[in-house]
Amino acid sequence: MPGKIIDLRSDTVTLPTPAMRKAMYEAELGDDNSGEDPSVNKLQEMSAERMGKEAGLLVTSGTQGNLVGILASTQHGEEIIVGDEAHCYLYEVGGAAAIGGLSFRPVPNHRGHLQPDEVAAAIRPDNIHFPRTSLLCLENTHNRGSGAVLTPAETKALCDVAHTNGLKVHLDGARIFNAATALGIPANRLTAGVDSVTFCFSKGLSCPVGSIICGSQEFITRSRKVRKMLGGGMRQAGIIAACGIVALNEMVDRLAEDHANAKILAQGLANIPGVITDPALAETNIVFFDVPDISPADLIAKCTGMGVRFQNTFGTRYRLVTHYGIERADIEAALSVISQAVAPLNAPRA
């Protein structure tokens, strides 16, 4: 039996650090539904400051943060522009359509690097037949784009197109600190032009639960009501916020380690015959690879049996995510396991 399970399925599998467990125990609490939880209030202020926005609102998850952001920026029946591989389009149960009565207008994703001219072409002109286009959603880093990073210049160009045409911009920044770390800049440079941004505490920052949405004071006041409608109004949520405070103080700077590990992983995978990956795409903590000649069920079962877990995203494509708790030695071990699992492919044929 393998010893340590090396779980590379997602950075959502991270467990709280000892400092977070202590902070939860000691957290000052109150009723956040009435805005009276001091720990939540502190986290919201810290987060808003990091994002360069006026205010923040703690939400239960990234999915809820995106939905709150979308609903607070639109009216029922309008249309929102998304990349055709955006998380909020593919993996959030179509909440914007189901709950917001919004139609999605997908544009080519380009690994998250949406093209301003393609966005501009998707904006509906004023016409009796059309819904009003009211929001552009961006994603940084981009999950399905192998953790691709949007630069401040790209973000600005996209925001300019949106704002010139009367659209708001919501940024799914679930992993915004990974993007900032990769570029070596403060996160607020990546959020400067957007109207709202969500980021997650429960991914690379290692918290057990929680995300946040930031924007103008007026937007957050509206978002608070939407959150309540979605059942996301919490009570002594300072238990959750306490971990977020530790995360912002202690867990952002270490993301560079995850990125370095992802690069080693991607390079190692590229050297395994039978595995297809482009190591240049490993910009942050997400690595995708393909093994066309083996069934996904077999590959996953073999690797899991040898103590290495990762996700089969679709077809013969797989995703590995590095995070807190995964050390350099685990990367070497994972590479050795994957290499053994695909080895029969490479055996000389009789």
Q: Does 285 bind ligand TLP (CB under 6 A)?
A: no
Interaction between residue 196 and ligand TLP (CB under 6 A): no
Q: Indicate the angle between helix axes 38-51 and 238-250, nearest 10 degrees.
A: 40
Provide the minimum distance between the beta carbon of 169 and ligand TLP in the complex, in angstroms, as a whole number: 16
Question: Is 7 a binder of ligand TLP (CB under 6 A)?
Answer: no
Between 93 and 329, CB nearer to ligand TLP:
93
Kindly state whether residue 232 participates in binding ligand TLP, applying the rule CB under 6 A: no
C-alpha distances out from residue 77 to 80, 84, 130, 132, 134, Å: 10, 20, 10, 8, 10
Minimum CB distance to ligand TLP, residue 160 (Å): 23
When asked if residue 10 is in the footprint of ligand TLP (CB under 6 A), the reply is yes
Which residues in 26-55 contact ligand TLP (CB under 6 A)?
Answer: none
d(CA 78, CA 89): 15
Asked if 146 touches ligand TLP (CB under 6 A), the answer is no
For 15, 219, 228, the CA distances from 225, given in Å and listed in that order, are 31, 10, 5
Would you tell me how many other CB atoms lie within 10 Å of the CB of residue 324? 21
**Among 14, 47, 63, 236, contact with ligand TLP (rule: CB under 6 A):** 63
Asked if 83 is part of the footprint of ligand TLP (rule: CB under 6 A), the reply reads no
Q: 306 in the Ramachandran plot: left (φ > 0), alpha (ψ -120 to 50) or beta?
A: alpha
Residue 174 within binding range of ligand TLP, rule CB under 6 A: yes
Integer-rounded Cα radius of gyration of the chain: 21
Asked if residues 165 and 123 have their Cβ atoms less than 8 Å apart, the reply is yes
Q: Which residue has the tokens 């981009």?
A: 142
Q: Which residues contact 12 (CB under 8 A, 6 or more apart)?
A: 202, 203
Nearer to ligand TLP, 79 or 139 (CB): 139
Instruction: Identify the residue among 157, 161, 190, 200 touching ligand TLP (CB under 6 A).
Output: 200
CB-based closest residue to ligand TLP? 62
Shortest distance in whole angstroms from residue 141 CB to ligand TLP: 7
Closer residue to ligand TLP (CB): 55 or 137: 137
312 binds ligand TLP (CB under 6 A): no
Pairing of the two strands 79-83 and 133-139: parallel
Query: Which DSSP letter does residue 124 get?
Result: P
Judged by CB under 6 A, the residue of 6, 44, 78, 87 near ligand TLP is 87
Q: Give the residue, chosen from 32, 78, 85, 139, that forms a contact with ligand TLP under the rule CB under 6 A.
A: 139
Torsion of CA 326, 327, 331, 337, to 10 degrees: -70
Instruction: Decide whether 133 or 143 has the Cβ nearer to ligand TLP.
Output: 143
**Under rule CB under 6 A, residue 61 binds ligand TLP:** yes
CB 318 within 8 A of CB 291: yes
Q: Pick the closer one to ligand TLP by CB: 146 or 202.
A: 202
Task: Give the 3-state secondary structure of residue 291.
Answer: coil
Catalog residues that contact ligand TLP under the rule CB under 6 A.
10, 12, 61-63, 66, 87, 91, 139, 143, 172, 174, 200, 202, 211
